[in-house]
Structure 1
Amino acid sequence: MRRVRYESTGGPLFLEEVPVPEPAPGELLLRCEAIGVTLPVVRKVTEAAEPVPLGGEIAGEVVAVGAGVTRFQVGNRVTGLCFGHGYADFALLDEAMASPVPDTASAVDAVALVRSGMVALGALTAARPERGEAALVTAAASGVGHLTVQLARVRGGADRVVAAVSDPAKADFARSLDADDVILYTDDSWGDPVDYVLDAVGGHLLTPALASLTPGGRLVAYSSGGGTIQAYDLLVGAKSVIGFQMARIARGEPEVYERWRQELWHLYAEGALKPVVHGEFTLADAARAHEAIASRSNLGKVVLRP
């Protein structure tokens, strides 16, 4: 089978031929139909001290199961987070991380919706939204962000949703998601204050994000971009910062994880939540897919199709 790999930090991605892996106890072997490309994986290629497996969101058909697997069988269509080599024709998925894909959904929809949607829904839930509030979403055109904009409206009940983007070329896309206003990160003012900010960027954006909050407003930080906030900026206006990490929910609160998953598919089936795919790339074009993420040029989810 084919697999994408790299040999040194920042090194080029290349295809190699390797044997199809065997599922260990508790594992599923999937024939990959779609693979989601994420910013954390892209960053690992350029920042990790040693080469790491290119994992992430995968969806496809179960072709073999390891000992002890009880929830799935050969022929089932599933999606989940692969911590090993996921950029491949076949990949291993821990049964605990697997979720069924409805017959009405494609594998591409599954990788665009489930993991990114779980992060978006989790960040929104952490903000404790109340109907009628105003929300601001950074990275609003990203794989997670474009779902967050939609969820703030349909799940959070926001009366006003502001989409923050890095490039004016993304403004029309953000408005197509039902955002009321679109701002640029570089704008001197981010407009009228909002009740909560869902931030997927971090770094230098934390300061204007915090400044955009009303007194008592909440900033949910769920990016891997780091950043620093001054305590005084919190004290003035009694604002709060809430950290959210999807891995904690997936590993420690499986019942919440499952409830969110079912809610996402329900909203999808109703047409209330519409995942958008920026582009579908072959395994051989994995480097181009990474570049779309690294350059922040993507509008929606970037997907590999073996």
Structure 2
Amino acid sequence: MTTLPETMTAIAIHGKGGPEVLVEERKPVPRPGAGQVLIEVEAAGVNRPDVLQRKGLYPAPKGHSELPGLEAAGRVAAVGEGVSRFAVGDRVMALLNGGGYAEYALADDAATLAIPDGVSMVEAAAIPETFFTVWHNVFERGALKSGEWFLVHGGTSGIGVTAIQLARAFGAKVIATAGSPQKCEACLALGAHRAVDYMQEDFVEAVKAETGGRGVDVILDMVGGDYVERNIRSLADDGRLVNIGYQSGSKVTVDMMRVMLKRLTLTGSTLRIRPTEVKGAIACAVERHALPAVASGKVKIVIDSTFPLARAAEAHARMETSQHVGKIVLTVG
């Protein structure tokens, strides 16, 4: 094993609150246990769950790093017992349980992937959280198929830009919502058939018009709240609504008669608390089905902006403006 430093620079959360509670600290460098990979981080993705954790609304799972950061890319610095897929020096990206905002981060071997040729470290750091989330929820839970209609809310978010492109790459017809004409143009440029400015239009009516009154087959939603009932009205018979967030509230009222008459499926998931074997199965599916679309150029990694690790607070402030298109990434070193 390569000699590792004793300490590293990391971004810790001091209390609960705004971006200012993100503080640079010196922390011990973690050592990999059985089935783990230690990554010398070169870039780390910034995601909405990091913001929620900073606010005290999304604590780290027990026994895992309390540092923010759910995805990172870099080179393998050390491997734990039983790890044979990766060796020191390999270029990797990984879905993390936390700890990405640091010079070194631990990842489960099962949730770690080799970085495809031609993909930069910044691009790689933007892949795991969004690709795992989109693949599992849209294609596994939502069972989106070629030729079906797909609606994604927040089309210019990190999740949104990935969902638009992957759905289009696999033959679906895509409608995306966004909050400005410029963001709608970005959705169209990524492959959406129709972009709906939710500040100016009712997406339910736009969906009906675009689909000839039929509705969409799958919806990916992170808004919750009053969107749930509107989503139900936007679904076609046998449609599937998949929720991965609830920015407008998790408690809603649902007209079950409409659900029954249209034979709808309402589902959702969160990744962070899932067992390692589940994340490993999703990782295998992403590697097999989604990453070839990245390698071929059919799906592009959309980067909004990058910030040095020490400026993590600025990265969070950028995310909270909701002006970003694509992923925000921290660079390390």
Q: Partners in 2 of 1:65 and 1:233 — Cα distance?
A: 52
**Residues 1:240 and 1:48: Cα distance change in structure 2 (over 3 Å):** closer
Q: Partners in 2 of 1:179 and 1:173 — Cα distance?
A: 9
Q: Pick the aligned partner of 2:206 from 187, 190, 201.
A: 190
Q: Deviations over 1:46-70 (max 9, x none)?
A: 1338793213101101122233332
Verify: 1:171 aligned to 2:184, yes or no.
Answer: yes
Counterpart of 1:17 in 2: which secondary structure?
A: strand
Structure 1: state its 5+ residue gaps.
Answer: none
Q: CA RMSD in A?
A: 2.3
Q: Partners in 1 of 2:234 and 2:322 — Cα distance?
A: 23
Report what 1:137 is aligned to.
152
The number of aligned residues is: 304
Verify: 1:261 aligned to 2:287, yes or no.
Answer: yes
Report what 2:330 is aligned to.
304
Q: Partners in 1 of 2:58 and 2:122 — Cα distance?
A: 31
Q: Partners in 2 of 1:238 and 1:24 — Cα distance?
A: 46
Letter in structure 1 aligned against 2:321: S
Letter in structure 1 aligned against 2:237: P
Q: Pick the aligned partner of 2:10 from 3, 18, 21.
A: 3
Alignment of 1:90-169 (within 5 A): 90-125=104-139, 126-155=141-170, 157-158=171-172, 160-169=173-182
Which deviates further from its counterpart, 245-254 or 115-124? 245-254
Letter in structure 1 aligned against 2:119: A
Q: What is the TM-score of this pair, normalised by structure 1?
A: 0.90
Alignment of 1:1-306 (within 5 A): 1-10=8-17, 12-48=21-57, 52-125=66-139, 126-155=141-170, 157-158=171-172, 160-186=173-199, 187-188=201-202, 189-192=205-208, 193-225=215-247, 226-228=250-252, 229-246=254-271, 248=274, 251-252=277-278, 254-306=280-332
**Residues 1:237 and 1:69: Cα distance change in structure 2 (over 3 Å):** closer
Whether the aligned pair in 2 keeps the contact of 1:282 and 1:304 (CA below 8 Å) is yes
Whether the aligned pair in 2 keeps the contact of 1:117 and 1:147 (CA below 8 Å) is yes
**Residues 1:287 and 1:62: Cα distance change in structure 2 (over 3 Å):** same
**Residues 1:195 and 1:96: Cα distance change in structure 2 (over 3 Å):** closer
Q: What is the TM-score of this pair, normalised by structure 2?
A: 0.83
**Residues 1:244 and 1:16: Cα distance change in structure 2 (over 3 Å):** closer
Structure 2: state its 5+ residue gaps.
Answer: 1-7, 61-65, 209-214
Q: Partners in 2 of 1:255 and 1:84 — Cα distance?
A: 19
Q: Kindly state the Cα deviation for residue 254 of structure 1 after the two structures are TM-superposed.
A: 3.3
Letter in structure 2 aligned against 1:191: V
Whether the aligned pair in 2 keeps the contact of 1:250 and 1:257 (CA below 8 Å) is no
Whether the aligned pair in 1 keeps the contact of 2:37 and 2:106 (CA below 8 Å) is yes
Q: Partners in 1 of 2:279 and 2:327 — Cα distance?
A: 26
Letter in structure 1 aligned against 2:194: D
Q: Kindly state the Cα deviation for residue 250 of structure 1 after the two structures are TM-superposed.
A: 5.4
Q: Kindly state the Cα deviation for residue 21 of structure 1 after the two structures are TM-superposed.
A: 2.9
